[in-house]
Amino acid sequence: MFVIETYQIAVLFCIITMFAWGSWANTQKLAASSWRFELYYWDYVFGIVLFSLLFSLTAGSTGEMGRPFLEDISQGSSENFWSAVLGGILFNLANILLVAAIALAGMSVAFPVGIGLALVIGVIVNYLDQPIGNSTFLFGGVALIVVAILLNANAYRKLSAQQQKVPTKGLVLAVVAGLLMGLFYKYVANSMFPDFTQPIAGKLSPYTAVFLFALGILASNFLFNTILMRKPVEGAAVSFKDYFVGSGKSHLMGVLGGVIWCIGMSFSILASDKAGPAISYGLGQGATVVAALWGIFVWKEFKGAPKGVTGMLNAMLLLYIVGLGLIIAAR
């Protein structure tokens, strides 16, 4: 299987993850305006499963290092299988709430608040599990990102007050999503053998772990998304019949969004061998900056904001960038 051999390449893969995780939500915006996010999300999940399988059968089955995908999945222990699947279930619950928050509050709010919280929690949880990297730099970067989250939330509050909107629902969903999303990564990381060049009996390769993670997302989606379709956070209930009358473009956007996100997840997991799970996850969650830039400058989500909001957004982006720089320097 393909394995990353240097820290520099691992950082490059984390940067690709950052752009993938920060850009996939654009596909939700590009789907038909009448296409509900609950329906979009089914295709998004199918895209994740499809890419994880193709990546495992290609990059996960070539080369001399590690253990090829089919051989690896046939020998994994049930404990490690379920650890990877549990990671998928936790992620799916968090992400479906994040997508709802995007629909209500926009990318430039949902990502900094939700993914920012996930970054903070994920770095702490993964560092305590595998303490790799300079803790001063790592947690210094996290502290700056916490301040950036607060600035973004305050900017959204000011915009909502001017537009006479109640921001509570979108912000609450983003916060709950972030709290849950900070926990999933460690379960996937714990299912794998720590040195990707040295397979351990019962443990999983990164490719197998991501594929089982994707299956956990798919299986849990029949519960989580079905409930959300019947009891939506906003608007009328939707049915599976509505899904099958969607346009080809809307379905394609969902699948593409899932593929883009899974590219980021796969690259982040591959990078965790050389960078360590805390740094790999934390740097990948720089997606917040990317998503905020899309939301602010492309989708104009803060257009017409009151005085002072622009300064808050600029400070938020600067703190995020400096915080991510400290996370990189931690190794």
Confidence of residue 165 (pLDDT cuts 50, 70, 90): low
For 68-126, give the DSSP string: -HHHHHHH--HHHHHHHHHHHHHHHHHHHHHHHHHHHH-HHHHIIIIIHHHHHHHHHHH
Query: For residue 236, how many C-alpha atoms fall within 13 Å in the half-sphere facing its CB?
Result: 5
In whole numbers, what is the pLDDT of the chain averaged over residues?
89
pLDDT for position 294: 87
Q: What is the pLDDT of residues 264-297, one digit of tens each?
A: 999 999 999 998 888 888 888 777 778 778 888 8
Express each pLDDT in 289-318 by its tens digit.
Answer: 787 788 888 887 777 778 888 888 889 889
Q: What is the CA radius of gyration of the chain?
A: 19
Percent of the chain with pLDDT over 70: 98
Cα–Cα distance measured from residue 298 to residue 292, given in angstroms and rounded to the nearest whole number: 10
pLDDT, tens only, 120-133 = 888 888 888 888 88
Short-list 8, 7, 76, 10, CA closest to 270 = 10
Given a cut of 90, is residue 117 above it in pLDDT?
no
Alpha-carbon distances of 141 from 83, 253, 329, rounded to whole Å: 29, 34, 10
Torsion of CA 226, 98, 281, 211, to 10 degrees: 20
Q: Which residue in 289, 102, 271, 257 sits closest to 189, CA to CA?
A: 271
Flag the least confident range among 110-114, 175-179, 233-237. Answer: 110-114
Residue 57 has pLDDT above 60, yes or no: yes
| Residue 111 identity | F
- Which pTM was predicted? 0.86
**Spatial CA neighbour of 185 closest among 138, 134, 123:** 123
